[in-house]
């Protein structure tokens, strides 16, 4: 049995789940210059959701989401929960692969058949997934470090292009649009962090768990703040609303004198790296779901067939890129079931079970255990 993931690796794994998908889909265009308000406000609903995940890991240690579902909801309801979450992860493989391949197709390899791009993403991600969660987490450390270095460099050289006046007026979009934005941002990208529970048995279950998850969310918030404000300040709110790949487009405007320009390939480079990590995580989560539902021994042998089916779907889920962005609106609501509904049901079931368990313990044995605990604490400490 391999060692558990370190807190550092868990932190970076969370970051990959958070930052990758958003790179393509971007932020709700209606938000314009108020995008930063929605990003900051999204921290509020994320705190209870993180507490929920931490609590689940605490009361059901050494279990992943699927084990937790069976444990707390029973065999039938638990397996239904596994299927719902597995389907979510399965479709996410297709959607993420499609949107990344479409991005590469539109911005870099216009004449390359999209199938080829999808295949390359698929095989790289499949290889990473077969190597296990430890390898994915190590990959995450590298790619997130590279992403942050790139973000710093690109932001530094984009400063002459930035016009902070483009970030005014503040709050002009109104509470409805801003709150809709919060909902979108919580669903995508931050909601994807739920997939971490599918590898929860590999995570350390100490007091730092909440801090690690919240830390990655806060770093994600900072990351998105820089990206969104930079894009809006360079493009102007009007263009921010119009263009498809906001961050990519903003970076393509950066030009330092005549000798340093066209640095958007750096953005593409980061997108590719994070995308591979993200798809690998979803592949692992899907395979684990099928393993649990059908009681297989190993999930790794399921990666290839499941991935292949997801790949087939990824080739033609949408007619065009506009449909991808339309789908995001549906996704905001659809994702609430696996991201909030399923974990909430599992948590409530687990709490009820825990309480029943506590109540069923013999009162005398309970008193005896309390006395033992007191005696242990009063024993002199060995020097």
- Applying CB under 8 A, the residues found at the interface with other proteins are 104, 106-112, 117, 120, 124, 165, 168-169, 172, 235-236, 238-239, 242-243, 249, 252-253, 255, 258, 265, 268-269, 272-273
Q: Which residues contact 173 (CB under 8 A, 6 or more apart)?
A: 30, 31, 32, 34
CA distances from 67 to 57, 170, 279, 289 (A): 11, 46, 22, 9
The least distance separating other proteins from the CB of residue 171, rounded to whole angstroms, comes to 8
Cβ atoms of 37 and 171 within 8 Å: the answer is yes
Q: 43 or 254, CB closer to other proteins?
A: 254
Would you say 77 or 124 has its CB closer to other proteins?
A: 124
Instruction: CB nearer to other proteins: give 46 or 272.
Output: 272
Q: Residue 227: how many CA atoms within 13 Å on its side-chain side?
A: 25
Retrieve residue 290's tokens. Answer: 């099928």
> Which of residues 114 and 183 has its CB atom nearest to other proteins in the complex?
114
Nearest CB to other proteins, comparing residues 269 and 296: 269
In the bound complex, what is the minimum distance in angstroms from residue 83's beta carbon to other proteins? Answer: 33
In the complex, what is the shortest distance from the CB of residue 168 to other proteins, in angstroms, rounded to a whole number? Answer: 4
Instruction: Give 242 or 369: the residue with its C-beta nearer to other proteins.
Output: 242
- Please list the residues that pair with 261 across neighbouring strands: 255
Q: How far is the CB of 272 from other proteins (least distance, A)?
A: 5
Q: How far is the CB of 117 from other proteins (least distance, A)?
A: 7
Query: How far apart are CB 283 and other proteins at their closest, in Å?
Result: 16
Give the nearer residue to other proteins in terms of CB position, either 116 or 308.
116
CB of 185 to other proteins, least distance (A): 23
Smallest distance, other proteins to C-beta of residue 202, A: 22
Integer Cα distance of 96 and 192 in angstroms: 12
Q: Which is nearer to other proteins, 45 or 132 (CB)?
A: 132
> What does the alpha-carbon distance between residue 97 and residue 119 come to, in Å, rounded to a whole number?
9
Cis before 169 (ω within 30)? yes
CB of 298 to other proteins, least distance (A): 22
Please answer whether residues 182 and 3 qualify as being in contact, where contact means their C-beta atoms are separated by less than 8 angstroms: no
User: Which residue number, 257 or 377, has a Cβ lying nearer to other proteins?
Assistant: 257
Minimal distance, residue 290 CB to other proteins, in Å: 27
Of 142 and 361, CB closest to other proteins: 142
């Amino acid at each position: 049995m391999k060692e558990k993931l370190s807190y550092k690796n868990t932190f970076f794994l969370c970051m990959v789940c958070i930052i990758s998908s958003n790179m393509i889909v971007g932020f709700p265009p209606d938000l314009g210059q108020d995008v930063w308000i929605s990003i900051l406000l999204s921290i509020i609903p994320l705190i209870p959701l993180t507490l929920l995940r931490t609590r689940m890991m605490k009361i059901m240690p050494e279990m992943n989401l699927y084990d937790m579902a069976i444990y707390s909801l029973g065999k039938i309801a638990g397996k239904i929960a596994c299927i719902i979450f597995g389907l979510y992860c399965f479709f996410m493989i297709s959607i993420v692969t499609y949107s990344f391949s479409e991005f590469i197709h539109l911005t870099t390899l216009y004449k390359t058949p999209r199938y080829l791009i999808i295949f390359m993403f698929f095989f790289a991600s499949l290889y990473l997934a077969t190597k296990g969660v430890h390898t994915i987490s190590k990959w995450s450390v590298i790619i997130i470090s590279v992403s942050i270095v790139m973000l710093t460099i690109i932001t530094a050289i984009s400063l002459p292009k930035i016009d902070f006046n483009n970030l005014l007026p503040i709050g002009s979009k109104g509470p409805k649009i801003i709150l809709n934005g919060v909902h979108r941002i919580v669903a995508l990208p931050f909601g994807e962090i739920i997939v971490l529970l599918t590898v929860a048995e590999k995570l350390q279950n100490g007091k730092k768990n909440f801090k690690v998850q919240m830390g990655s969310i806060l770093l994600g918030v900072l990351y998105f703040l820089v990206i969104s404000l930079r894009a809006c300040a360079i493009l102007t709110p009007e263009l921010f609303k119009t263009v498809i790949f906001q961050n990519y487009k903003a970076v393509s405007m950066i030009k330092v004198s005549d000798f340093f320009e066209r640095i958007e390939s750096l953005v593409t480079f980061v997108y590719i790296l994070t995308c591979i990590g993200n798809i690998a995580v979803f592949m692992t989560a899907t395979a684990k779901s099928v393993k649990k539902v059908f009681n297989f021994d190993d999930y790794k042998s399921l990666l290839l067939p499941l991935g292949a089916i997801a790949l087939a779907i990824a080739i033609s889920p949408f007619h065009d890129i506009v449909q991808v962005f339309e789908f995001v609106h549906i996704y905001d609501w659809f994702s609430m079931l696996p991201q909030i509904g399923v974990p909430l049901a599992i948590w409530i079931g687990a709490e009820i079970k825990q309480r029943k368990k506590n109540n069923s313990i013999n009162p005398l044995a309970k008193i005896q255990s309390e006395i033992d605990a007191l005696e242990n604490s009063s024993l002199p400490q060995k020097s």
